[in-house]
Amino acid sequence: MVVVSEKKRHLATETVEAQPPSKKPLEGENAETMLKEAVEAVEKERAKSEDYLRRLQYLQADFENYRKRVEKEMSDNRQFGNQRLLSEIIVVNDELELALREARGSNENPTIAEGVAMVHKRLQSILSKEGVEKIQSLGSKFNPDLHDAALRVVSDEEEGTIVEEIRQGYTLKGKVLRPSIVKVAENPVERESKSEKSALEEIGDNE
């Protein structure tokens, strides 16, 4: 026992002796570099977490906007989801009207004409139930939001008045489903009187 404790004491003195006073400042330096490293590491981690936070916030905002948009799209879909189908059905309606006109014109088979008229009427009621409405064109003023001008025709009507409808247009719940294709009045007399404005130049035929 004594021997062991002797040895311990000896070892203890040895360790004390093994650390010469000259090494003490070095230990301080070590601590300093360690501290510096630690601070750097913390800084790095902080920058990283700031970056993560920024990204997370960005993603959150992105997601929030996306969610809002999807909600809006869903409500639009509920309202206008059948838009494509309806725009195809109005073509069928066009053809039905054409058939009806033919059948009535020829007067060959009044029963068929009557039958087609009934189908047409039913289709009309389905379309109107879905919110499809006819665009009024004839006699009204040309409006590019609703009408598509195919050509101008010289007329006594006021300039810009629709004088003929080539194809019926429709709206769906207030939105244009298909614009009307129309002919628009061109009034040379009226134009003459406004000729000071006609210094307009066209660039359509460029190059």
Residues that bind another protein (CB under 8 A): 54, 57-58, 61-63, 65-66, 68-69, 83, 142, 144-145, 147-152, 159-160, 175-176, 179, 184, 186, 197-204, 206-207
- Of the pair 101, 175, the CB lying nearest another protein is at 175
- The nearest distance, CB 123 to another protein, in angstroms, is 23
Q: How far is CA 68 from the centre of its chain?
A: 12
Q: Please tell me the distance from the alpha carbon of residue 109 to that of residue 115, in angstroms, as a whole number.
A: 10
How many whole angstroms separate alpha carbon 26 and alpha carbon 113?
Answer: 110
Return the amino acid letter for 48.
K
To the nearest whole angstrom, how small is the minimum distance from the Cβ of residue 200 to another protein?
4
Of the pair 7, 46, the CB lying nearest another protein is at 46
| Residue 93 CB neighbour total at 10 angstroms | 19
Judged by beta carbon, residue 123 or residue 190, the one nearer another protein is 190
User: Nearest distance from residue 107's CB to another protein, in Å?
Assistant: 27
Asked whether the beta carbons of 135 and 146 are under 8 A apart, the reply is: yes
Can you give the length of the chain in residues?
Answer: 207
